[in-house]
Homo-oligomer: A and B are copies of this chain.
Amino acid sequence: MAAFKAAPPIPGSMQDRTFTALAEAGDDVTVAGWVHEVRDLGGIAFLILRDKAGKIQVKFEKDELDDELVETGLSVHRESVIRVSGSVEEEPRAPTGVEVTPDTLEVVAEADPELPLDPSGKVDAELSTRLDNRTLDLRKDEPKAIFEIRAAVLQAVREAFRDHGSTEINTPKIVATGTEGGTELFPITYFGQEAFMNQSPQLFKQLMVGSGLERVFEIGPIFRAEEHNTPRHLNEATSIDFESAFIDADGAMDVLEAVVTAAYEGVWENAQPELEALDRADDFTVPDGEFERIPYEEIIEMVNATGALDEQLVWGDDLPTEAEKALGEELGEHYFITNWPSEVKPFYIKDTDDDPAVSTGFDLMHPRLELVSGGQREHRYEKLIAGFEQQGLDPEAFEYYTKMFRYGMPPHAGWGLGAERLIMTMLDLDNIREAVIFPRDRQRLSP
């Protein structure tokens, strides 16, 4: 396997070390990291030292080395932190083709002999044990690779947004009203006032497309007090949000195609060792940049034709999970469902000009779940107010938002993409919690 990225050294005494992946035969090095494994074969013993970049073999020829050094190196508990200085020699049988003969060995932080999980990966652990002990869990190549890939995704997504002329914004997470009213919000006590944790930057990003910024993106936390407890729901998630003036739903889908494709490309280009660690390097496919766009009306017919459901779907129905699965088999990994019925979409989604029962709202689907929700937004003040009332929301409570629609709000469109859903589907993870370092669900509030 290729080495992981080796960070350049930061000057300063404690960083005066060579990453395992950079140690070459003939070098004198100091390596530091965790004791991955010790194998004592009698006259000779090996210690495998692990760092961010990979692993390196340290050789103890007992007759040749100082007794105390041998005793220290071979008695140290697994997962202790040590620092070793010595010379690097070629050794074809070693995992990286080289090994270190130690001159000095220092135990920097001794680990307890009993560990709550085994970072060598030899013993499997339950997900809950892994989440309770993420420090140890992320010493394993596979979970660590997920988070290196997650970082590569966010980097690629931001670059794609900037290539499309979007400005990064940050909007508040403490809010007076939820985006879609009072449901599914976590309440906060804010200096004696009632407030909530924001469930979506929707209204704020819309306010910004009416400003001189025109086209914006935000990657930040969202909070949903949903009582779901499934492998695909989180109560705190990372949302990738886009919104632009002067585009319609098709323009928003164009940008979304570019962003999702960029995410896959970024991982393919910058995270090959991580894909290998996850055994995904061979079947990882970068999308071709265009996803089919199929109106809801046709989707309903397609689902009914599959015979996957006991009862036929009718206009206005949401898609049950089995329908999504059946569609995935026909339509592949990514496809759009466009023109959802207006009644199932929130007030801020614009209806089509031809038929008020049909909206401009779209979803980007994956066979396992919905990845994105988007659409053109209602930018006409009177229609917006009417939409609030139709959904039983009080427009007065949202005056900070609606008022701006009286001062020249351009037509606009956008979407919100769940970062964890993107990573979960990209890497075919069983549980969305695998894509969050410290997930939050109904039971889990710590660490």
- Contact surface of A with B, Cβ cutoff 8 Å: 5-8, 10-15, 17, 32, 34-35, 50-52, 79-81, 108-112, 115-116, 132-141, 144, 147-148, 150-151, 154-155, 158, 162-177, 186-191, 193, 195, 197, 204, 207-208, 210-215, 220-221, 223, 225, 227, 235-236, 238, 244-248, 250-251, 254-255, 379-380, 400-401, 403-404, 406-411, 436-440, 442, 445-447
Other A-B pairs beyond A6-B165, A151-B167, A220-B221, 20, CB < 8 Å:
A7-B164, A10-B251, A12-B247, A12-B254, A13-B250, A51-B214, A109-B380, A109-B408, A109-B410, A111-B406, A116-B403, A133-B403, A135-B207, A136-B407, A172-B438, A174-B223, A174-B235, A174-B440, A177-B446, A195-B445
Q: Is the CB of B187 within 8 A of A189?
A: yes
Q: Known: A109-B379, A220-B220, A247-B14. Is A210-B135 also a contact (CB below 8 A)?
A: yes
CA distance A175 to B197 in the complex (A): 13
- A173: chain B residues at CB < 8 Å are 173, 197, 221, 223, 236
User: Contact: A13 with B248, CB < 8 Å?
Assistant: yes
Which of A210, A246, A401, A439 has the largest number of chain B CB atoms within 10 A?
A246
A10, A132, A147, A150: which has the most chain B beta carbons within 10 Å?
A: A10
Determine the residue in chain B with the shortest Cβ distance to A153.
B168
CB distance from A139 to the nearest CB of B (A): 5
Contact pick for A197, options B5, B174, B255, B379, CB 8 Å: B174
Please tell me which one of the listed residues B176, B407, B445 contacts residue A446 in the complex, with CB atoms under 8 A apart. B176
CB distance from A98 to the nearest CB of B (A): 20
Report the copy number of this chain in the oligomer: 2
Do B109 and A437 have beta carbons less than 8 Å apart? no
Which residue from chain B places its CB closest to the CB of A79 in the assembled complex? B408
- Measured CB to CB, the nearest residue on chain B to A111 is B408
Q: Are B5 and A147 in contact (CB under 8 A)?
A: no
Tell me whether A8 and B165 are in contact (CB under 8 A).
yes
Asked whether, in the complex, the Cβ of A167 is within 8 Å of the Cβ of B195, the reply is: no
- Asked if B250 and A12 sit within 8 Å, CB to CB, the answer is yes
**Bound-complex Cα distance A70 to B80 (A):** 80
Which B residues lie within 8 Å of A52 (CB)? 165, 212-215, 245
State whether B208 touches A437 (Cβ < 8 A): yes
**Among B134, B409, B447, contact of A81 (Cβ-Cβ < 8 Å):** B409
Q: Are B81 and A410 in contact (CB under 8 A)?
A: yes
Q: Which of B11, B155, B204, B403 contacts A438 (CB 8 A)?
A: B204
CB-CB under 8 A from A446, the residues of chain B are 175-177, 400
Residues A211 and B109 in contact, CB atoms below 8 Å apart = no
Residue of B nearest to A419 (CB): B170
Across the interface, A207 reaches (CB within 8 A) one of B51, B175, B447, namely B447
Which residues in B have their C-beta under 8 angstroms from that of A140?
212
Question: Which one of A13, A79, A81, A189 has the highest number of Cβ atoms from chain B below 10 Å of its Cβ?
Answer: A81
Q: A254 to B81, alpha carbons, bound, how many Å?
A: 24
Q: How far is the CB of A377 from chain B (nearest CB, A)?
A: 12
> Taking each of A177, A403, A442, which has the highest tally of chain B beta carbons within 10 Å of its own beta carbon?
A403
CA distance A416 to B36 in the complex (A): 31
Q: Which residues of B contact A400 (CB under 8 A)?
A: 132, 446-447
One of B187, B406, B408 near A34 (C-beta < 8 A): B408
